[in-house]
Amino acid sequence: MRFDIQPYAGALPIAFGMTRAEVHRLLGRPESSRPVWDGSGVSEHYNLARYNVGYTNAGVVNHLGFSPGGAELSILGQSIWTAEGQPDPNPVLLTLDPAPVEIVGFWFFLGIGATSTGYHDDDPGQRAVTVFPRDTNAKLLAEAQPADTSRYRSQ
């Protein structure tokens, strides 16, 4: 499956605000579903494809998460991951938003509505890219600090 991140709109063909029924028509039924830790909704997991779709309690899409090795992923038409390779996405994301902030091990690229984790800190078990709509993480981001992007400046 191919997804193209459109900042603050979704990872097309899945758009923020779509209903679960609309997503199921496009992606099929998920392998598992579980409540979000803070009670704000539910997250459905497509384990074999290595992505998940989060929904609000009202049942509309409010985030999409991707792990390497499942889907082909691009942002604004620029490739992040292909079926053949899933390199560190940060160089691509930094070209679009050179000043991410960091909190709880995630880099938040607020200019493009995306996060990355597991790459900047060499934690292969946590590697993922997530996309979110505007104002979703306002409480969490109140404590964010500028991310240390120095390791990427020499590349």
What is the per-residue pLDDT for 24? 97
> Tokens for 55?
């929904």
- Reported as a pLDDT band with limits 50, 70 and 90, residue 104 is confident
The answer to whether residue 27 scores a pLDDT higher than 80 is yes
Distance CA 21, CA 137 (A): 25
Which residue is listed with tokens 């082909």?
72
Grouping H, G, I as helix, E, B as strand and the rest as coil, residue 134 is coil
Distance CA 80, CA 67 (A): 12
